Amino acid sequence: MPHRTSRRTLLTATAATAAAAATGGFAATPALASAHTTNASTDSRLRRIIAGMSLEEKVGQLFVMRVYGHSATEPDQVDIDENLKEIGVRTAAELIAKYHVGGIIYFTWARNTRDPHQIADLSNGLQHAALAERSRVPLIVSTDQEHGIVCRLGAPATLLPGAMALGAGASRSDTRRAAWIAGAELAAVGINQNYAPDADVNVNPANPVIGVRSFGSDPDAVADLVAAQVKGYQGAGIAATAKHFPGHGDTNVDSHTGLPVINHTRAQWEELDAPPFRAAVRARIDSIMTAHIVVPALDPSGDPATLSRPILTGILREELGYDGVVVTDSLAMQGVRTKYGDDRVPVLALRAGADQLLNPPNLSVAWNAVLKAVRDGELTEARIDESILRILRLKSGLGLFRDPFVTHGGVDRTVGSRAHLAAADRIAERTTTLLDNPGSLLPLSRRTHRSLLVVGADPASPSGTTGPPTTVLAKAFGELGFSAQALSTGTAPKQAKIDEAVAAARGRDAVIVATYNVTATSSQRTLVTALVATGVPVITVAIRNPYDVAHLTGAGAAASLAAYSWIDVELRAAARVIAGRAEPEGTLPVPVQRADDPTQVLYPVGHGLSY
């Protein structure tokens, strides 16, 4: 492959922001090589670095680990206690010194992501600790910033529509732009690998773990948008990661808590699951994440894909021709721990073809197990060197050997910029989907429907949202000139709360109900039915999966929409659509089956009404 200058050299945070301002929030950069693209001269330099590493340093490079705290050297006492309990070190700097880890993953719950300046300082502190090591190899800093319902960096960072919302928008340009904005902001705070986009094809409405994290149910449409996001993220200077190979879209078990089995035939896998990953490889994606799922047609051993050589080496490496970094999904998840102990899992993942070992539950056990496997000859040092070379190619391509540090000035110019926030609002408007409007109630007029009640679900908010969905929606309607009261009734409202909502609805001109994963037995349906019985027009807004409408058919709602998430930007867009300040341009990226007969489709892929 031809050598390219690193993306960080081509597109610094400052230049990226200037380009964004000139193009409405998206830098129109030329197509750039994958960060693992290299040449003989670079490989020779990287091999010399590897040759100078001790075995302990080599093993450490394979691990990407969590650590508690907002600072690399001075975390709060609660974080020190957690680090001592789980990792046996006090600080991130001690973690790096003891285990020589090649990467750190940020989590909100690990208190890594308080605000952009703090994140940048943490990233810089981690890099200083890594460069103080004898081998002087910079870190990969990663996170899950899928947007939509999975965000680690909240406001003032720009929050964007998630994958299924972008699937509803069906715009490659918007999808790429969203990834570029997200990537530029991650790069500005020192995060250089994002575990996105989700390349799973969500063909199972009962999927408990993917759902709206997928672009949709059509493999070709998902493939197009995955490729667009790869180009967006990598064009902004960070590594993209397609997940979860070989495809987690048709599961009814959450691999965080169990081991899913997908019974697709090989032909079905080729048709349904493979296209987005093939598209990602063609787009020269930097990394691909494995799935803790069993696919008997691809490997009859019963091993999860993360530990399967036929899947990771036979299919991903040899058949798909992928030679970038393969990162496991978290090794703390139950799906990969069901069959083997925590000492065997990392060794088997490396034997299968993985390069980066993500977040083992006990780093000491995992690190020492890999070290022992090499010393005992179960893993050759040459095999370890192959993975380290891929990892160092990625670090080199990202410009980390040249300069891994970020600045507060770069943060201030990039994170949550006016251009980025405006682009997020425009993109979100184009994703909102109007499913039903039988009496043409929508759009609402302030002259006839000025007084509104907003009730409904209040799921745990993604990072950076400003409050429960009902509060955010009511505020959005207030800013549009309506009088709106918020009443949170929860995801499983009791009769007393339903009665309270009914009483509050009297005298209102319309009621908006935020619904969340409604089922046949959900009391959310009882709430909607009771509100309809007041005679006040009721509008339902599905704030996660768009399948809610199937269970509300017959309840008498005057209109139904899908927002695909309850982050602020998507709720504000739904309010503007309801108020007629924006057209409902989104169309369903998944089919909605009838609740009483799932073999029948209520609303097909592509359904969406306009005004």
Query: For the segment 31-60, what is each residue's pLDDT rounded down to a tens digit?
Result: 345 777 678 889 999 999 999 999 999 999
Segment 378-396 shows an average pLDDT of: 97
Instruction: Classify residue 583 as left (phi > 0), alpha (psi -120 to 50) or beta.
Output: beta
Q: Is 131 a residue whose pLDDT tops 80?
A: yes
| CATH superfamily of the 7-52+153-414 domain | Glycoside hydrolase, family 3, N-terminal domain (3.20.20.300)
- pLDDT-based confidence at residue 395 (cuts at 50, 70, 90): very high
List the alpha helices (DSSP H) in 189-313: 219-235, 266-268, 274-282, 309
Determine which one of 128, 254, 256, 408 is catalytic: 256
Q: Where are the alpha helices (DSSP H) in 155-215?
A: 163-169, 172-188
CA distances from 328 to 185, 197, 504, 585, 590 (A): 25, 15, 50, 37, 28
> What's the mean pLDDT in 515-530?
94
**Share of residues in the chain with pLDDT > 90 (%):** 86
Write the CATH number of the domain with boundaries 432-603: 3.40.50.1700
- Average pLDDT on 58-74 reads 98
* Centroid of chain to Cα 163: 8
Peptide bond preceding 443 in cis form (omega within 30 of 0): yes
Cα(8)–Cα(193) distance, rounded to whole angstroms?
13
- Do domains 7-52+153-414 and 432-603 share one topology? The answer is no
Each residue of 322-336: pLDDT tens digit? 999 999 999 999 889
- Give dist(CA 92, CA 393) in Å, integer: 24
Q: Which residues contact 509 (CB under 8 A, 6 or more apart)?
A: 448, 449, 450, 451, 452, 536, 537
Is 218 part of the annotated catalytic residue set?
no
How far apart CA 533 and CA 505 sit, in angstroms, is: 11
Specify the pTM: 0.92
3-class SS of residue 31: coil
- Asked if 550 and 506 touch (Cβ cutoff 8 Å), the reply is no
Torsion angles phi and psi, residue 97, rounded to 5: -65, -35
Q: Using CA atoms in the order 568, 230, 189, 59, what is the torsion angle rounded to 10 degrees?
A: 130
pLDDT higher than threshold 50 for residue 25: no
Whether 216 and 201 have beta carbons less than 8 Å apart is answered as: yes
pLDDT for position 255? 83
Q: Is 575 helix (H, G, I), strand (E, B) or coil?
A: helix
Is the previous residue joined to 276 through a cis bond, with omega within 30 degrees of 0? no
Residue type for 161, please?
P
Of the pLDDT bands very low, low, confident and very high (cuts 50, 70, 90), residue 466 is confident
- The answer to whether residue 329 is catalytic is yes
Confidence of residue 459 (pLDDT cuts 50, 70, 90): confident
Query: 40 CB contacts (<8 Å, ≥6 apart)?
Result: none
* Helix (H), strand (E), coil (C) string for 416-436: CCHHHHHHHHHHHHCCCEEEE
Q: Which two tokens stand for residue 341?
A: 């102990």
Spatial separation of the C-alpha atoms in residues 426 and 393, rounded to whole Å: 37
- Tell me how far apart the alpha carbons of residues 295 and 304 are, in angstroms, rounded to a whole number: 8
Contact present, 116 and 154 (Cβ < 8 Å): no
With the CA atoms of 282, 284, 285 and 288 taken in that order, what torsion angle do they form, in degrees rounded to the nearest 10?
60
**What is the reported pLDDT for 12?**
37
Q: State yes or no: cis peptide before 591, omega within 30 of 0.
A: no
DSSP string, 435-496: EE-TT--PSP-TTTS-EEEEEE--PPPPTT--S-HHHHHHHHHHHTT-EEEEEE--SS--HH
**8 pLDDT above the threshold of 90:** no
SS3 category, 194: strand
Sheet holding 559-562, edge to edge: 433-436, 559-562, 538-542, 510-515, 451-456, 483-488
Q: Are the CB atoms for 175 and 169 separated by under 8 Å?
A: yes
Domain ranges within the chain, ordered by starting residue: 7-52+153-414, 432-603
Least confident of 24-28, 219-223, 309-313, 592-596: 24-28
CA distances from 210 to 282, 365, 433 (A): 24, 30, 20
The single residue of 121, 224, 299, 329 carrying the catalytic annotation is: 329
Locate 64 and state its tokens: 């990407």
